[in-house]
Structure 1
Amino acid sequence: MRKPREYGAEQAYLPLGLFKLRLPFVHYRWEWPEAAQGVILVAVALSATSAHMEALGCTFQIAVTMVVLNGLLYLLHPTFGDPVFPGWITPAIPLVLAYLSGFESGVDRIHATIALQMLMAVLFLVLGVTGLAQRVIHIVPISMRAGILMGAGIAATYSVIRPDESARMYGMEISVIVGAVLCFLIMYSARYNVWRKKSKIMEFISKLGMLPGLLGALILGTLLGELPAPVIEWGITPLHFRELLANYTVFGMGFPAVDYFIKGLPLMVTCYIIAFGDFVLAETVVKEADEVRQDEYVEFNPSRSNIISGIRNLILSLFAPYAPLSGPLWAGGTIAVAERYKHGREAMDSIYGGVGSYILAMAVAGLILPIVSLLKPALPIAMSLTMLVQGFACCYIAMNMVKTREQQGAAAITAIVVAFQSAAIGLAVGIAMHLILGVLVLEEHEHVEPAVES
């Protein structure tokens, strides 16, 4: 029987060194509101099927199998002491897909995906074990960090709206536009923020993130004929692990050659710079929630989060090469849990219960065939909306990072090259712009500051 937590204490756990083992129903209670959101928002998780089919050329059934495995791995975070809802390295998806498109479809591209994810696993693990993540990331100039983030946002947006048949929105333009309008209105609009404070219904809708936009696009797209009507199937979602292992992993296709790892190094650096922002955001969200809820001590450890993210990337690189990669945070899910957690202990006993219930319910929903078959026609739209929402977020965050005109210009040039050339060339341009502008400006400021003070 679960022992009640004393006021101000940490939720019960079994100590495992850096990790703190907490099991569902044993160390935290089931939270039905989060479970309900997990069932509904499985649509967001399933949208990764589009990326898998594009990157690996696999079937929808194989892609769903990969999504289910990934969903189960999300549980590693709350189970081992990380009080957040993990996710993909979402802003990097268009950069990863563009990189993979440079390899021939089939074994070549599969090996490139495996190698990239293994590189990410090693980097996460090394920085987590050594605790060097914070120090290493600050070596990268702000103009480069902002440029990479903005470049990812531009690439994400352009992948949806590009003026040819390769655009994600091609053939379903009206549905995507309407869905995007709803997403931007509910998630980012100052006007809607005023409305939700006056209406409990709008407050509830605001917690659903992209879902209202996705449902609106699904309904409209079906009515306009841009999307096929869903064909509901009954039963348990069939999982094709044998086919997945035989045709898309190191066990069936062999281990990637060294060249794949060398080629993936620049993108590895780019993806980690993008992911580092998630660690910062996760720590901020958890800290704010902890300050409000004095009855529970909640700890976010960046090193632990790095290690768990590395383990997820390593497992997927071996058993289900995952083009969206494994990142430390799904901001939408984590913030939704944290906001209800702030309502008090009666609303949510422990933040681990909220996160754990959300993740477990979402994983189970992926196994329910009627839900998967209902959402299947809308999944390409879900990926389009994900890219547009991430594009907006990446760009405004990047703009807030840079203050001087030199930083702003260097970031913009870096962003354009990252978005329309490659991560490798973008990194080179970012370094060059910093050396040409940033270092010289810094030296000039260091020279004149004493005179100004005197």
Structure 2
Amino acid sequence: MLIKRKEGEIHPGFKWGPFTMRIPGVHLEITPSQHLQGGLLLLATCGSITPLAMKYFNISLEVAWTVSLVFLVWVIAQTVLFGDIYAAGAITPALPLTIVYLNTLTPGIEAIHGMIAISIVVIALFLFFGITRLGEKFNNVIPASLKAGIIMGAAIAAFQSEIGRLPTMPITLVTAWVIVLLLMFSIPFARLPDTKAKAIAGSNALLIAFALAGVVGFSTGEVTFDLQWGVFVPPIGEVFSTLSIWSVGLPPWEMIVSVIPIGFMFYILVFGDLLVAQTLLKDAEEARKDEKIDINMNRSHFVLAFRNLAQILTAGPMPWLHGPIWTGVQVFLIQRYKKGRHVMDSIFSGIANFYLLAIPLGLLLPVMGIIAPLFPVALSVTILLTGFACAYIAMSMVTNNISRGLVLMIGVLCATLGAAWGIGIGTVLYMLLIGKNKEDLPIVNDVKIKEEKIS
């Protein structure tokens, strides 16, 4: 029996501590129309990381796919088990910076330990800022140029990695890039008349890009499919022995200390995601008065700490960490949510239905046979979109030419030399070039005006 929400209240569920469990079919209405699209998109995007796991951790496709499915368990747990309000995802902007770090380590145990070390630092930061509630104060202390520089570093690292990947599947990757950028960011496309076809294309940009890239890749011979019937049996024992923290052990203390700057960079990126998520949800709340949206940033810190801790305890690390929001899906679901309760009963039910079928689909060999060859495409599109978005976000955070130049310099340092050098040199440059000036002033123009008055 479905437990209904009263008008204007928080959606019901089972309270436990600061969290709320909401079970599909009991607290959340089940709407199958969203299952297939969401499940396939989630699998393709999450599965995109498996080539990196195979490369850096020296593991098989079967092991990497199993860890991805476990990753999805803890993604779905954000809504069902913990009851946080966001459409969960990974810290995607951190992925290019993670790749830069992993490239400095030997594939295998050292890289696994490196990823566990980053996880430990980030978990500690989530818990510290969640308990002390100092996250917002810390974020306000960091100058905009430094934050923008870190984000620009993610953009530069992303573009570098994709330029290097292009020769492996040139026609397929370019096709996917053009389609997804056209449907998501094109101004001419946005100016076209608002039709149903346009709305469908815009809201399914990733899925369309993957599908057409698959057709083009198959036609050119860059992608081959191996379809088999049956059910995938996860190699739990192999996962445990090769990746689990219980088998590989904790990383050396020196390694944990060395990745602290990376952890702080990741936290800054996550806090930015949380602010974006809050803005999106407040906009949704204005459109729907029948549901009170419970936004709690401290709870989100604890949820992220527990999700990342559960990941390394149950299946080992992945080359990306659990993050608060999958922005593209969040935007898509909120647009549907705004249409009324008859379309989406609750923001929680929308998220749950979009994610619910991912794991069952991921256990079907025919689905794996279709999706697995497209993992390089999915990874490339994910990193490209991350780089594109990070670049324009970074530039929008500063308003004068000196800050823009500084942002680019910090970004290059972070992408090429690493987090410690980027933050260290960036801080020195900030003090020398900007100092105590307010970054929202047009500094270059102010200097010109003063020179004109003197002359």
TM-score using structure 2 length: 0.93
> Contact 1:169/1:176 (CA < 8 Å) preserved in 2?
yes
Correspondence 1:401 to 2:397? yes
What secondary structure is seen at the aligned counterpart in 2 of 1:121?
Answer: helix
Q: Encode CA deviations 1:309-367: one digit per residue, 9 max, x unaligned.
A: 11111122233211111111111111111110111010011110010111222232222
Choose the corresponding residue for 1:175, options 169, 172, 194: 172
What secondary structure is seen at the aligned counterpart in 2 of 1:436?
Answer: helix
Correspondence 1:345 to 2:341? yes
What secondary structure is seen at the aligned counterpart in 2 of 1:170?
Answer: helix
Hey, what's the Cα distance between the residues in 2 that align with 1:209 and 1:275? 24
Aligned to 2:434: 438
Correspondence 1:187 to 2:184? yes
Shift in Å, 1:440: 4.2
**1:163-242 equivalent positions in 2, closer than 5 A:** 167-195=164-192, 197-228=193-224, 230-242=225-237
**Which moved further from structure 2: 315-324 or 171-180?**
315-324
**1:44-63 equivalent positions in 2, closer than 5 A:** 44-63=45-64
Shift in Å, 1:213: 1.2
Correspondence 1:416 to 2:417? no
Shift in Å, 1:438: 2.4
**Which moved further from structure 2: 198-207 or 136-145?**
198-207
Aligned to 1:425: 421
Structure 2: gaps of 5 or more residues: 451-455
Aligned to 1:386: 382
Correspondence 1:116 to 2:135? no
Letter in 2 for 1:26: V
Letter in 2 for 1:346: H
Aligned to 1:281: 276
Q: What is the RMSD computed on CA atoms of the aligned residues?
A: 1.8
Q: Judging changes above 3 Å, is the alpha-carbon distance between structure 1 residues 399 and 442 closer, same or farther for their aligned structure 2 residues?
A: closer
Hey, what's the Cα distance between the residues in 2 that align with 1:289 and 1:34? 19
What secondary structure is seen at the aligned counterpart in 2 of 1:210?
Answer: helix
Structure 1: gaps of 5 or more residues: 162-166
Hey, what's the Cα distance between the residues in 1 that align with 2:233 and 2:191? 45
Hey, what's the Cα distance between the residues in 1 that align with 2:206 and 2:375? 12
Task: Give 4+ residue runs of structure 1 displaced > 6 Å after superposition.
Answer: none
Shift in Å, 1:123: 1.1
Correspondence 1:125 to 2:127? yes
What secondary structure is seen at the aligned counterpart in 2 of 1:296?
Answer: coil
What secondary structure is seen at the aligned counterpart in 2 of 1:15?
Answer: strand
Aligned to 2:148: 146
Shift in Å, 1:405: 2.3
Hey, what's the Cα distance between the residues in 2 that align with 1:314 and 1:3? 31
**Which moved further from structure 2: 58-67 or 47-56?**
47-56
Aligned to 2:7: 7
> Contact 2:87/2:326 (CA < 8 Å) preserved in 1?
yes
Count of matched residue pairs: 440
**1:316-395 equivalent positions in 2, closer than 5 A:** 316-318=311-313, 319-395=315-391
Correspondence 1:248 to 2:250? no
Hey, what's the Cα distance between the residues in 2 that align with 1:138 and 1:92? 20
> Contact 1:147/1:412 (CA < 8 Å) preserved in 2?
yes
> Contact 2:4/2:27 (CA < 8 Å) preserved in 1?
no
Shift in Å, 1:210: 1.4
What secondary structure is seen at the aligned counterpart in 1 of 2:168?
Answer: coil
> Contact 1:117/1:322 (CA < 8 Å) preserved in 2?
no
What secondary structure is seen at the aligned counterpart in 2 of 1:84?
Answer: coil
Shift in Å, 1:24: 1.2
Letter in 2 for 1:258: W
Letter in 2 for 1:219: V
> Contact 1:72/1:360 (CA < 8 Å) preserved in 2?
no
> Contact 2:245/2:316 (CA < 8 Å) preserved in 1?
no
Q: Encode CA deviations 1:213-262: one digit per residue, 9 max, x unaligned.
A: 1111111011101122x111222222122111111222212221101101
Hey, what's the Cα distance between the residues in 2 that align with 1:112 and 1:55? 10
Correspondence 1:260 to 2:260? no
Aligned to 1:22: 22
> Contact 1:86/1:329 (CA < 8 Å) preserved in 2?
yes
Aligned to 1:77: 78
TM-score using structure 1 length: 0.93
Hey, what's the Cα distance between the residues in 2 that align with 1:323 and 1:158? 17
Shift in Å, 1:297: 0.8
Correspondence 1:295 to 2:285? no
Hey, what's the Cα distance between the residues in 2 that align with 1:16 and 1:401? 39
Q: Encode CA deviations 1:181-220: one digit per residue, 9 max, x unaligned.
A: 000000111222233x532122112111312111111110
> Contact 1:121/1:312 (CA < 8 Å) preserved in 2?
no
